[in-house]
Amino acid sequence: MAGEVQKERDIVIKCDNLVKIYKTQDIEVLALQGLDLEIERGELMAIIGNSGSGKSTFLNMIGGLDRPSAGQLIVDGKNLFKLTEKELVEYKHRTVGFVWQNNARNLIPYLTAWENVQMPMIFAHERDGNQRADPAQMKEKALELLDMVGMSAKKNSRLNQLSGGEQQRIAIAIAQANDPVILLADEPTGAVDVKTSAYILDMFREINKATGRTIVIVTHDRQIARKVNRVAAIRDGKISSERIIKQSYRDSFSQITSFTEEDDFHDEFAILDRAGRVQIPRELLEKLGVEGNKVRMVEKDGNIVISKS
């Protein structure tokens, strides 16, 4: 409409030419090679990529678990290059919540489910020097979070009394204990069956809808990638492509089934880097029968046509 004011985007994560180099005595590995990405507040999105592509490194950067080597990384208005060690500890406790694939990193085995969920709250109060923390209030909140993930009936169970899927659902409750701005999940369905994977996916969607919390999932699980609004693919340390949910599916994920072709509900876009370069997926090059490192590229009728040389 004429005169309509476009809503300003609220960017909660901004990566600008992000670089991460790991060095040892004998080798140097370039894990991120100038990654550019913006994530809006309240998004539910997935990051996919092959092993070694840089996706877990990227998640660790956002989570404050590893320092970037170069570029710019702004999360919720905080420049992660400039945070002191004390500020970084606060950031990890208040801004982000982490769900690990390995449940041993999520839960303390000798505590019950509700005690595990309460533990981050206790740490936060002690760190803040708040001696007036109300144990009953914290327990009530822990029980509410367990209810959110459908684990109220297991509130008094310990790690060895829970299935892998139950442990992961409790881990999602723990990650929200201190009301983080962003929820990060590293392969959250990697160790569960298909049915549990689907349940966890629905849980992330419900949490996103109920709280407005930004959720970023690193995954190989195509079932998760199918039911988020945006999927960013990392290849060789850069974002190589993005898939955006089509408008016709945006309000009803229930229309998407395991039989729905991916091209039917996502539009896929290649990503241009600062120099105007684009990565062509290997599978497309193989379909073209491209050998070596040369292709023909011409403009035709407003389109760029790539063919084998």
SS (H, E, C) 130-164: CCCCCHHHHHHHHHHHHHHCCCHHHCCCCHHHCCH
Same domain? For 70 and 125 the reply is no
Q: For the chain, which ranges sit under pLDDT 70? A: 1-7, 104, 128-133, 222-225, 241, 245-275
Domain that residue 29 falls in: 9-91+182-196+211-278
Tens digit of pLDDT for each residue in 211-269?
999 999 998 776 666 778 888 888 878 777 677 755 444 444 444 444 344 455 556 66
Domains: count for the chain: 3
pLDDT score for 305: 82
Same domain? For 29 and 143 the reply is no
Same domain? For 108 and 250 the reply is no
| Residue 102: closest CA among 163, 58, 168 | 168
pLDDT score for 249: 43
pLDDT score for 253: 46
pLDDT score for 93: 86
Same domain? For 66 and 111 the reply is no
Same domain? For 42 and 113 the reply is no
Tokens of 97: 């919540």
Type of residue found at 282: R
- Is the whole-model pTM more than 0.95? no
Same domain? For 48 and 189 the reply is yes
pLDDT score for 133: 66
Same domain? For 80 and 219 the reply is yes
Same domain? For 87 and 227 the reply is yes
Same domain? For 170 and 86 the reply is no
Same domain? For 40 and 73 the reply is yes
